Amino acid sequence: NDCTHQCLSVRQPRSLMFGLLALCHAAIPPAPSSSAAWMQRSHWIPHNDSERTARFMRLLPSLGLHCPKVGVSTFWYPSIGRRLRGAVALEPIAKHEEVCVVPLANMISFLSVQNSSFAPVLRMADKDVSQRGLWEAAAISLFILREGARDSSPHAAYIHASFSGHDPASIPKTLPPDSDAFRALKPSVQATARRFQARVAALHQRLIAPALQQHPAAFAEGGACDPTAAASADGAASPRSCASLYSLRRVTEVLGVVQARDWNLPVFGRTRQFIVPVCDMLNFGQIGLRVRFDDRRSSFLLWALRPIAAGAELLFYYGSFCQDEALSNYGLVPP
């Protein structure tokens, strides 16, 4: 890391994998019927972000998530002069109370990709270990792009109601270098962002673009995109083409959001990246919350070390990062 500027406490990328594949399969219950309304993309698209979020939070018990005292609100952050979406305590939370329990089946991880039709794509990447950590986050990003674009998905509720509400433009490292917003960044943050984008570009060229050619059915599954769509006369990809859906720009943006929201915890003896619905909305701070993955219950647990008042924002201490890296990764430097 070339970051030599002031270091302070900010969000730490969180990540996961899981032990033996057989054990992981056993931990995942059968997918619900694809006829469920909430699994349909058309169920979410007509609504705005607020309506989608409200629908999603009401749906949690049906999805198997137990977060009865957690809601979503916005909070004013004077240091950046704007409001941020975050999690709020709807009722008083007692000391040692479990605040949220999210089963493995509801999380999006490298395992989700491994157990999908993307498995052959992952085998291509096994031959290239030079960017293994970034590749796992990129694989999750490809999975989210596909599941969000297809007609029906068991992950549709989370992707359309929560993940898609995170604007990539708020993450400086995803900004196009020729944009005014990028040029407005201080040089050290630009340098951090350029390094990230160079790594993503190399990964896209070496692995993702060839995989699109070799495994088009996996990328297009569920009507996510049209692998046969031809480029226009000026060479631009058709909006419905797989080349457009998985373009370097789209992958860079989604990968930036994944890294801003993911967790990094031991699961079945190994540690890699994963996304946890609801719990990925915790902003930076110290309010006495702790997390772990319970192998026996096959669930992500969030619990309170001390009482939390109703109406309080639910915060989590991410770790220590350099100021420029924090700004590049998350768009803000927590106080």
Mean pLDDT for 246-262 is 95
| C-alpha–C-alpha distance, residues 301 and 291, integer Å | 5
| C-alpha–C-alpha distance, residues 52 and 55, integer Å | 5
| C-alpha–C-alpha distance, residues 215 and 222, integer Å | 14
- 3-state class of 89 per DSSP? strand
First to last CA, the chain: 22
pLDDT band at 312; cut points 50, 70, 90: very high
| C-alpha–C-alpha distance, residues 49 and 54, integer Å | 9
pLDDT band at 15; cut points 50, 70, 90: very low
Mean pLDDT for 110-120 is 91
pLDDT band at 231; cut points 50, 70, 90: low
Residue 129: which residues within 8 A CB-CB, separation 6 or more?
A: none
**HSE-up of 236 (CA within 13 Å, CB side)?**
4
State residue 42's pLDDT score: 95
Whole-number Cα distances in Å, 290 to 74, 91, 192, 299: 22, 18, 30, 14
Dig out the tokens for 57 from the structure. Answer: 């939070």
Mean pLDDT for 224-240 is 72
Dig out the tokens for 171 from the structure. Answer: 């993450």
pLDDT above 90: residue 152: yes
State residue 322's pLDDT score: 79
State residue 232's pLDDT score: 55
State residue 265's pLDDT score: 92
Q: Which residue's structure tokens are 């990964």?
A: 203
- 3-state class of 218 per DSSP? helix
- Of 145-149, 176-180, 280-284, the range with the lowest mean pLDDT is 280-284
Contact 305, 94 (CB under 8 A): no
Task: Kindly list the strands in the beta sheet with 313-316, ordered across the sheet, starting from the edge strand earlier in the chain.
Answer: 70-77, 82-89, 313-316, 283-284
Dig out the tokens for 1 from the structure. Answer: 């890391």
Phi first, then psi: give them for residue 315, nearest 5 degrees: -120, 160
Dig out the tokens for 89 from the structure. Answer: 């305590």
Between 300 and 31, name the one with better pLDDT.
300
166-205 residue pLDDT tens: 999 989 999 999 999 999 999 999 999 999 999 999 999 9
Between 176 and 229, name the one with better pLDDT.
176
Mean pLDDT over all residues of the chain?
85
